[in-house]
């Protein structure tokens, strides 16, 4: 349930549309979620597959490597068992085929021993021991007649079990060999034991016939860990080998580190009837070579896949979110523009209404003040004539100012009538600058004009364009201290439009101011100096003429207005 | 100047009477009317040389009055008064026979000049 909740949370998080307020943070969060999610749904299955493959391959390869070793060990074990069983059967045959007396006869035993040596490899000597443990007769290279075995453990063993195969030992004979003993129990009850020893060289031969490669080692060891045959790595026969594995009569494979610190694969099997363990040792590095190669391949493929997925996911989400953000931005911009237009038009209607309403009282004030002035002027000997004329003049002046304001308000509201003609913008600007040259000269402001030579003539309204440029230039002049520079340049933007840039070296504007400069009644000038209508009228006029205005400004660096104007008027405009 | 007689038509009585007084002070005989009907009635009796007519009036609008005046007295020059910025109405008025138009608030000198030129045209 919790998992389901958290998953649905992630998805609802993804579906959320970022607020305008903290959009960048929102976008980053959503983008991060998306990236994590995409990485999870791609990397988790990949990792799972890789891990499963790893274990699958490992078990398959292990079987492939291990099985032949087991077979080999089994075969070797069998041939050794067979060899020992065969020799034991021979000795058993001798014990059964001859009577005690026949075997006790030294000459007879020697003859039997010679035949035995000829027919079966590896026999070193042959002897008869009576039930008391005394050596009765002996055939072989040593002088062992009369030796007493009654105290030895093997003697007890053979008395109980009937047969006995010894561990490898040196004993009297000074080279490694092993003893086989068989007890014969005839009907009359007098038992005897035939004992033969065999050279272990035959065991070495059997092991050598396995055809092992030069890095592998195979040997016999007894359960006490004493080497029964020579080992390549762990010493000669009868030396102690520290590696006795746990009991298993079936061939068994273990991976381990040997006392010398090498990683090895040990395959071994216990002999069921004797004290021996057959061991086959191979270095892991050699056996597992194929597996290591495969493992490395698997790992490299995994890493490359992960890298590719990560790169693709990151790029994908980045592109996706860029697109999303762009479209959101566009939408927001369109909305803002619409809002702005709406605001301008409703303010415009309000302004027009106010202007009309104010106009009539203004006309009355104007006439009353005019009448007062007339009375003062037309009456000879009017007392304090000058003192009255002053205030009346101020009233009339103020009415004029109000008149100017209402005029502009209405102009803003109605944007006046458009009279389209084909004109040269360079000329219009030149005329407009004519109005301002005196002020510029007086204030030591440099006017830098850079007109495009082949500027296409455009369809537009001369008077309104003049007003546009006049407003912007006026603003530029007002924004500057004496001694600055105003640069005016015209250029062909593309086939459909031209542009005019007006750049000043004035105080510039803050971003906050920039946001509002086209709104009516927004002014940074001290009260009474500006109506706050200039730029909103400018904006309205340029829009009316089918153009656009762009402002860039940095506080302290100056402001640049760019006015774009269409070369041809569309039908719907200019009406 | 005794032959110059102006009829001033405006619903804003204070404006009309004050302006009429100022014109009289400058020696121009002036009669006032405060709406279209009154103006048309007075016109027959007073016989002005020039009519100064406000466009924005309740009831009969300035342009309607203008239509009647030009129909009844084709030679009588009419100067229209428009609200400020209402250039289009002034122009519309001129198209149906007004002599000229002026924007309120007025400059008295300008008005007198227009009245004189209108009267001169008539004669």
pLDDT digits (tens, 9 = 90+) for A370-409: 999 999 988 888 888 888 899 999 999 999 888 877 777 7
Is the distance from CB of A243 to CB of A234 less than 8 angstroms? yes
What is the structure's pLDDT at B85?
Answer: 59
What pLDDT sits at residue A442?
82
* Contact between A403 and B15 using a beta-carbon 8 Å cutoff: no
Using CA atoms, how far residue A409 sits from A21, A380, A573, B81, B89, in Å, is 34, 41, 21, 19, 17
Please indicate, yes or no, whether the overall pTM of this predicted structure exceeds 0.80: no
Name chain B contacts of A414, Cβ cutoff 8 Å.
85
Instruction: Give residue A168's pLDDT.
Output: 85
Q: What is the DSSP string of A320-341?
A: HHHHHHHHHHHHHHHHHHHHHH
**A406 contacts B88? CB cut-off 8 A:** no
- At residue A351, the pLDDT reads 75
- Which of B:25-84 have CB within 8 Å of A? 25-26, 56, 83-84
Would you call A371 and B21 a contact, using CB atoms and an 8 Å cutoff? yes
Q: Which fold has domain B5-118?
A: Rossmann fold (3.40.50)
Q: Which of B78, B113, B73, B116 has its CA nearest to residue B95?
A: B78
- B34 within 8 A of B59, measured Cβ to Cβ: no
- Residue A572 is predicted with a pLDDT of 47
| Beta pairing, strands A485-492 & A446-450 | parallel
Q: Are A149 and A133 in contact (CB under 8 A)?
A: yes
> Which of B17, B18, B27, B90 is best to mutate for the A interface (most A CBs within 10 A)?
B18
B21 touches chain A (CB under 8 A): yes
Write the DSSP symbol of residue A134.
B
Among A370, A399, A386, which residue's Cα sits nearest to residue B25? Answer: A370
Q: What confidence score (pLDDT) does residue B34 get?
A: 92
Residues of chain B with pLDDT under 50: 1-2
Segments in A178-224 forming alpha helices (H): 201-208
In this prediction, residue A526 carries a pLDDT of: 56
Interior angle at CA A351, CA A575 and CA A353, nearest 5: 90
Closest CB to B84 among A359, A416, A417: A359
Among A155, A145, A85, A172, which Cα is nearest to A120's? A85
* Residue A524: closest CA among A492, A490, A489, A553: A553
- pLDDT in the model for residue A239: 83
Structure-block tokens of residue A547:
């153009």
Q: What is the mean pLDDT of each run of 10 residues along chain A (575 residues)?
A: 66 54 73 90 93 90 85 91 90 88 88 89 88 87 80 85 85 78 81 88 85 86 86 82 83 84 88 88 81 88 94 92 86 77 70 80 92 90 88 90 78 60 86 79 87 88 82 85 89 90 88 79 59 74 87 88 89 44
Edge-to-edge order in the sheet of strand A558-566: A446-450, A485-492, A497-504, A558-566, A548-554
Residue A415 pLDDT: 52
Pairing relation of β-strands B29-33 and A276-283?
unpaired
Structure tokens at A541: 């006029």
A409: chain B residues, CB-CB within 8 Å: 85
Q: Which domains does chain A have, with CATH numbers?
A: 63-287 (3.30.450.20), 416-575 (3.30.565.10)
Tell me which chain B residue has its CA closest to the CA of residue A411. Answer: B85
- Integer Cα distance of A146 and A300 in angstroms: 75
Q: Spell out the domain ranges in chain B.
A: 5-118
Angstrom distance (rounded) from CA A131 to CA A156: 10
Whole-angstrom distance, CA of residue A513 vs CA of residue A114? 126
Is B105 within 8 Å of A367 when comparing Cβ atoms? yes
- And the tokens for A124? 């070193």
Provide the Cα torsion A475, A440, A405, A348; round to 10°.
Answer: -30
Instruction: Encode pLDDT of A473-516 as tens digits.
Output: 888 888 888 888 999 999 998 888 999 999 998 888 888 888 87
Q: What residues of B are in contact with residue A356 (Cβ under 8 Å)?
A: 56, 83
Q: Which residues in chain A are closer than 8 Å to B18, comparing Cβ atoms?
A: 364, 367-368, 370-371
What pLDDT, on the 0 to 100 scale, is given for residue A574? 38
What's the rounded Cα separation, in Å, for the pair A493 and A500? 9
Q: How far apart are CA A143 and CA A157, in angstroms?
A: 24
Contact A520, A413 (CB under 8 A): no
A370 closest CB neighbour out of B22, B56, B86? B22
Tokens of A341: 């237009």
pLDDT, position B6: 94
CA distance A334 to chain B (A): 32
CB A94 within 8 A of CB A139: no
């Amino acid at each position: 349930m919790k998992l389901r909740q958290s998953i649905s949370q992630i998805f609802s998080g993804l579906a959320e549309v970022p607020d305008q307020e903290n959009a960048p943070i929102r976008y980053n969060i959503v983008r991060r979620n998306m990236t994590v999610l995409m990485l999870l749904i791609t990397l988790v299955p990949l990792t799972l597959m890789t891990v499963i493959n790893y274990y699958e391959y490992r078990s398959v390869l292990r079987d492939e490597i291990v099985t032949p070793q087991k077979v080999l060990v089994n075969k070797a074990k069998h041939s050794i068992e067979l060899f020992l069983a065969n020799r034991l059967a021979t000795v058993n045959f001798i014990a059964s085929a001859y009577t005690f007396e026949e075997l006790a006869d030294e000459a007879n035993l020697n003859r039997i021993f010679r035949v035995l040596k000829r027919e079966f490899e590896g026999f070193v000597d042959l002897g008869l021991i009576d039930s008391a443990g005394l050596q009765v007769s002996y055939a072989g290279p040593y002088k062992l007649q009369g030796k007493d075995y009654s105290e030895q453990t093997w003697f007890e063993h053979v008395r109980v079990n009937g047969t006995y195969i010894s561990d490898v030992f040196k004993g009297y004979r000074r080279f490694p060999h092993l003893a086989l003993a068989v007890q014969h129990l005839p009907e009359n009850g007098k038992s005897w034991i035939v004992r033969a020893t065999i050279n272990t060289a035959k065991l070495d031969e059997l092991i050598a016939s396995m055809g092992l490669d030069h890095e592998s080692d195979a040997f016999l060891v007894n359960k006490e860990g004493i080497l029964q045959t020579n080992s390549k790595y762990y010493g000669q026969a009868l030396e102690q080998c520290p590696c006795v594995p746990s009991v298993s009569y079936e061939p068994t494979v273990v991976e381990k580190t040997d006392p010398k610190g090498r990683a090895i694969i040990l395959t071994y099997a216990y002999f069921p009837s004797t004290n021996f363990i057959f061991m086959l040792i191979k270095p892991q590095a050699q056996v597992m070579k194929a597996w290591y190669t495969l493992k490395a391949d698997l790992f490299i493929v995994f890493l490359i896949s992960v890298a590719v997925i990560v790169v693709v996911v990151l790029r994908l989400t980045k592109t996706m979110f860029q697109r999303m953000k762009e479209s959101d931005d566009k939408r927001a911009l369109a909305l803002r523009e619409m809002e702005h237009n709406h605001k301008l038009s409703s303010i415009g209607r309000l302004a027009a209404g106010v202007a009309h309403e104010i106009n009539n009282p203004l006309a009355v004030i104007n006439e009353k003040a005019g009448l007062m002035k007339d009375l003062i002027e037309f009456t000879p000997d009017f007392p304090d004539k000058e003192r009255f004329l002053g205030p009346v003049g101020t009233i009339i002046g103020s009415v004029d100012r109000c008149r100017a304001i209402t005029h502009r308000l209405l102009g803003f509201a109605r944007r006046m009538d458009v009279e389209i003609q084909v004109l040269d913008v360079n000329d219009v600007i030149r005329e407009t600058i004519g109005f301002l040259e005196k002020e510029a000269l007086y204030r030591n402001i440099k006017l830098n004009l850079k007109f495009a030579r082949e500027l296409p003539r455009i369809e537009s309204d001369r008077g309104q364009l003049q007003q546009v440029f006049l407003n912007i230039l006026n603003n530029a002049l007002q924004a500057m201290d004496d001694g600055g520079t105003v640069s005016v340049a015209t250029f062909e933007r593309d086939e459909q439009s031209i542009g005019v840039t007006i750049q000043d070296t004035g105080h510039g504007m803050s971003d906050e101011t920039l946001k509002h400069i086209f709104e009516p009644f927004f002014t940074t000038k001290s009260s009474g100096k500006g109506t706050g209508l200039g730029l909103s009228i400018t904006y309205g006029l340029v829009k009316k003429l089918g153009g656009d205005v762009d402002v860039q400004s940095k506080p302290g660096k100056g402001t640049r207005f760019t006015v774009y104007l269409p070369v041809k008027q569309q039908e719907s405009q200019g009406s | 100047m005794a032959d110059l007689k102006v009829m001033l038509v405006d619903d804003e009585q204070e404006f009309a009477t004050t302006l009429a007084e100022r014109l009289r002070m400058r020696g121009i005989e002036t009669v006032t009317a405060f709406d279209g009907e009154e103006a048309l009635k007075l016109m027959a009796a007073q016989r002005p040389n020039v009519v100064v007519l406000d466009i924005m009036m309740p009831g009969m609008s300035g342009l309607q009055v203008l239509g009647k005046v030009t129909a009844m007295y084709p030679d009588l020059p009419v100067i229209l008064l428009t609200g400020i910025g209402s250039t289009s109405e002034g122009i519309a008025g001129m198209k149906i026979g007004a002599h000229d138009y002026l924007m309120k608030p007025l400059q008295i000198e300008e008005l007198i000049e227009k009245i004189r030129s209108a009267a001169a045209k008539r004669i």
